[in-house]
Amino acid sequence: MSDGPTYGFDTLQIHAGARPDPATGARQTPIYQTTAYVFRDADHAAALFNLQEVGYIYSRLTNPTVAVLQERIATLEGGVGAVCCSSGHAAQIMALFPLMAPGRNIVASTRLYGGTVTQFSQTIKRFGWSAKFVDTDDLEAVKAAIDDDTRAIFCESIANPGGYVTDIRAMADIADAAGIPLIVDNTSATPYLCRPIEQGATLVVHSTTKYLTGNGTVTGGAIVDSGKFDWSASDKFPSLSEPEPAYHGLKFHETFGPLAFTFHGIAVGLRDLGMTMNPQGAHYTLMGIETLSLRMQRHVENAEKIAAWLEADDRVEYVTYAGLPSSPYHERVKAQYPKGAGALFTFAVKGGYDACVKLVNSLEIFSHVANLGDTRSLIIHSASTTHRQLTPEQQEAAGAGPNVVRVSIGIEDADDLIADLDQALAKACA
């Protein structure tokens, strides 16, 4: 699209990054199912490999279908560039890769998806990295956790599983004062409900598997670069500010400016880690994004109605949906998430663990799956599944206690979903 008019979200989610195919005139982005690309000549090949010219070399690095998706997500998030990869977990590692080194740490929210907690508390230790988990509502604790080896703060905009909303501006102010980037996982909110870069985030990560694709067909991840961080302001980020031996001493920040992180993510991250998104997966996600705003409006509308019904039900102890007036996050939602608090939340069932299991087994419309963000309504008992590897203390901190189920409200008829929950609760609490 041209750089002239300023287009609205609904227009950009369909058109950003896409152009009619110059060879055939195809209106939908083609699936470029190819591993390699023919160079014009030897000089062209050398320029591409030296990062002197932008183009396509090999689909582990760049692919035309994936490139359209990267531009679309970056545009919707208000970033300068994006790197797509094979999953949301891959995106997290890719985001940290240029920032970290043995002995370095991140400060991470206690309210994260269970798989992320495991990745940060266990797996990254194998790289010599570590994470300090802090309640991000306690701003003084966040500040106190930062030390000379801290290289980033990591949080979720709308936390999985509890649906808690983060004060991104407050996190960004702390990160700025420490001279480190703020990384925000915006999977649950999507850029339709929240644009973390506008609130000060440096990097945004997504599991594109979820709401962006929206149809439960493919896995994928994305890292969006705000282009606003000064990687050369200190000696903390040598991968971006110092000479890169693999490219004859090229300095990414000096050479590429605001796009330094994006180029590093492709030229080093994808080249060496190989966490590549396949072009067919990118195609499915592009089709999903075309209806993102329509789906998110319905997700939020249904979630608000169902959360209110659950809160009024005597068989339910509490509901964590931040869109409810009773939520401690309600004022934050109105100020920072004016289009709604998403469609992901938990509720506690009277009767504890056993009642939760009966509830999950009794539902007919809700699908019992380890996913979220689908058009279909989904449910899971986090303590026995996604958060099973965590300690009881970690489960409680993440909002995934034994008496809690997580729901991802879909776009079906809300009354049908309420009737399904009603009959299942009757069986669970009999």
The domain spanning residue 201 has which CATH number? 3.40.640.10
Q: How many domains does the chain have?
A: 2
Question: Tens of pLDDT along 46-93?
Answer: 999 999 999 999 999 999 999 999 999 999 999 999 999 999 999 999
Q: What is the pLDDT of residue 289?
A: 98
Distances (CA, A) of 252 to 39, 89, 227, 310: 24, 25, 13, 52
Residue located via tokens 């300090």: 132
User: Do 298 and 400 reside in the same domain of the chain?
Assistant: yes
Q: Please, what is the Cα angle at 159 between 334 and 133, to 5 degrees? A: 125
User: Do 171 and 148 reside in the same domain of the chain?
Assistant: yes
User: What span, in angstroms and rounded, lies between the C-alpha atoms of 378 and 395?
Assistant: 20
User: Do 67 and 50 reside in the same domain of the chain?
Assistant: yes
List Cβ neighbours of 294 (8 Å cut-off, separation of 6 or more). none
User: Do 253 and 215 reside in the same domain of the chain?
Assistant: yes
Q: What is the pLDDT of residue 5?
A: 64
Question: Tens of pLDDT along 128-143?
Answer: 999 999 999 999 999 9
Question: Tens of pLDDT along 270-311?
Answer: 999 999 999 999 999 999 999 999 999 999 999 999 999 999
User: Do 131 and 34 reside in the same domain of the chain?
Assistant: yes
User: Do 70 and 88 reside in the same domain of the chain?
Assistant: yes
Residue 312 vs residue 385, higher pLDDT: 312
User: Do 104 and 177 reside in the same domain of the chain?
Assistant: yes
Domain limit, last residue, from 224, 256, 288: 288
- Is it the case that residue 3 has pLDDT exceeding 60? no
List Cβ neighbours of 338 (8 Å cut-off, separation of 6 or more). none
Residue located via tokens 């996050």: 329
In a domain, 2, yes or no: no
User: Do 187 and 115 reside in the same domain of the chain?
Assistant: yes
User: Do 276 and 387 reside in the same domain of the chain?
Assistant: no
- Is it the case that residue 4 has pLDDT exceeding 70? no
Nearest to 7 by CA among 293, 428, 360, 401: 293
pTM over 0.85: yes
CATH number of the domain bearing residue 322: 3.90.1150.10
Pairing of strands 130-134, 105-109: parallel
In a domain, 394, yes or no: yes
In a domain, 348, yes or no: yes
In a domain, 1, yes or no: no
Q: What is the pLDDT of residue 163?
A: 87
In a domain, 244, yes or no: yes
User: Do 258 and 301 reside in the same domain of the chain?
Assistant: no
- Is it the case that residue 170 has pLDDT exceeding 80? yes
What is the identity of the amino acid at 145? A
User: Do 90 and 219 reside in the same domain of the chain?
Assistant: yes
**Please, are residues 395 and 383 in contact by the beta-carbon 8 Å criterion?**
yes
In a domain, 223, yes or no: yes
**Please, are residues 107 and 146 in contact by the beta-carbon 8 Å criterion?**
yes
* Secondary structure class of 408 (helix, strand, coil): strand
- Is it the case that residue 22 has pLDDT exceeding 90? no
| φ/ψ bin of 82: left (φ > 0), alpha (ψ from -120 to 50), beta (otherwise) | beta
- Is it the case that residue 396 has pLDDT exceeding 80? no
**Please, are residues 387 and 398 in contact by the beta-carbon 8 Å criterion?**
yes
Question: Tens of pLDDT along 5-20?
Answer: 689 999 999 999 998 9
Question: Tens of pLDDT along 306-326?
Answer: 999 999 999 999 999 999 999
In a domain, 114, yes or no: yes
Domain limit, last residue, from 247, 273, 288: 288
- Is it the case that residue 268 has pLDDT exceeding 80? yes
User: Do 375 and 273 reside in the same domain of the chain?
Assistant: no
Structure tokens at 90: 């891959």
Residue 396: domain span: 293-428
Question: Tens of pLDDT along 147-158?
Answer: 999 999 999 999
- Is it the case that residue 390 has pLDDT exceeding 80? no
Domain limit, last residue, from 229, 253, 288: 288
* Secondary structure class of 331 (helix, strand, coil): helix
